[in-house]
Amino acid sequence: MSSQKRRIRRSFGAVRKLPSGRFQASYLDPDGARRNAPTTFTTKGDADTWLAIQRSALETGQWRGTTDDTTVGEFAQAWLNTLTVRPRTRYNYEKSLDRWILPTFGTSPMREVTPAAVRRWVGNFSADKPAARAQAYTVMHRIFRDAADEGIIGENPVRVRGASEYRVAREGNALTMDTILSLAERMPESERLAVVLAAVCALRPGEVLALRRRDVDTTARLLHVRETASAKIGTGEQVGPTKTAGSVRDVHYPAALDAAVRDQIAGYAAPGPRGHLFPRKAVSPSEPVAYRTFAGHFREAVRRAGIQDARPHDLRHSGATLAAATGATVSELMARLGHTSPTVALKYQHAVRERDRSIADALGAALTGARADQTGDHHVED
């Protein structure tokens, strides 16, 4: 036997290097039959990892073999119960399962789901639901990936290229400062500052609504962003962790807002350090204004102001664009926005450059017109 095909023995399973240079892993199942990995591996370490997963499945009783008849619905429920995710993420997964995945695959054994069936399923999504398709496909892929890792199926049949991607239908709308103040004036008095802070400090709507007394340092003019507020889901809390760990940050607000911030604390904030800056006083002072309530007030303000298109998240987009216009660097924008990737910060800088180009073009048109007028003024007829 050539050295390339030599089987490397170990306490569990075996790995051999193939003539192609890739590695094949295999092991003996409880019945003494040899089972090969569904794919070969680039490195020996990857093959070892696969064997470790199979060994763990055998030792914990999770291994079922290729004759396993576990259905997609059964595995999906068990899979969901073991996930450690935020309530909203769990809710979105459950929604994708109940609405899109289980009606088609729920009673099908995992091992009978084929790539062709998955492609048909993806193709049946309506063209006007790209986000739902992408979310459902992502959940489906994760479920079958984990099933393959546990040895329930040989390989993941969910592999439709591009199915998890979609283009956002609407980009953020950058509002002018005059427009932002006009909208704030049309909000309930207790929520006016929320509009201005969201814009000036580039906060997500949920981040500004979750602010508490303890999060406001009036001496340093600093907001400590550490939580976010969203609609309640089931018995979950309305206020929870920020969108990402990187979203926890400190953001300065301008001196021009000193009086407004102090007035909000004195006149509207709930009592105590944990009292919300924008409390839901009519129902419960221990909770912030519900996002749906705030969004409804914002829509009404937009209508009354006669603005064509503006949404709560546009306030953050506007704040980021305004910050970029001051000459803030990519690193400074990342810190202010709470992003760990420069991609979004670069987008706002690009938007500012595009706007500057438009200004230059407009000035050029004015200059051309002025020159034409000058030429006309000095024209002497024969």
Catalytic residue among 313, 336, 355, 371: 313
Residue labelled with tokens 């024209």: 379
Q: Which residues of 221-256 are buried (b: 16+ CB within 10 A; e: fewer)?
A: bebebbbbbbeebeeeebbbebbeeebebebebeee
The sheet carrying 7-9 orders its strands as 7-9, 14-17, 23-28, 34-36
Residue 186 a catalytic site member: no
Instruction: Give me the residues paired with residue 228 across strands.
Output: 240
Pairs from 343-350 (Cβ < 8 Å, separation ≥ 24): 344/320, 345/320, 348/320, 348/321, 348/323, 348/324, 349/324
316 counts as catalytic? yes
Per-position DSSP letters for 48-67, written without gaps between them: HHHHHHHHHHHHHT----TT
In whole angstroms, how far apart are CA 118 and each of 91, 105, 152, 153, 167?
A: 23, 9, 18, 15, 21
Please tell me which residue in 16, 249, 316, 336 is annotated as part of the active site: 316
Type and span of the H or E element at 376: helix 342-377
**Pair of tokens at residue 277:** 């800056």
* d(C-alpha 210, C-alpha 194), whole Å: 10
- Which position has the token pair 């706007």? 355
The catalytic position among 141, 204, 280, 297 is 204
Q: How far apart are CA 299 and CA 334, in angstroms?
A: 29
**Residue of 16, 249, 317, 339 marked active site:** 339
Dist. CA 160–CA 117, nearest whole Å: 11
Helix (H, G, I), strand (E, B) or coil at 252: strand
Active site residues: 204, 313, 316, 339, 348
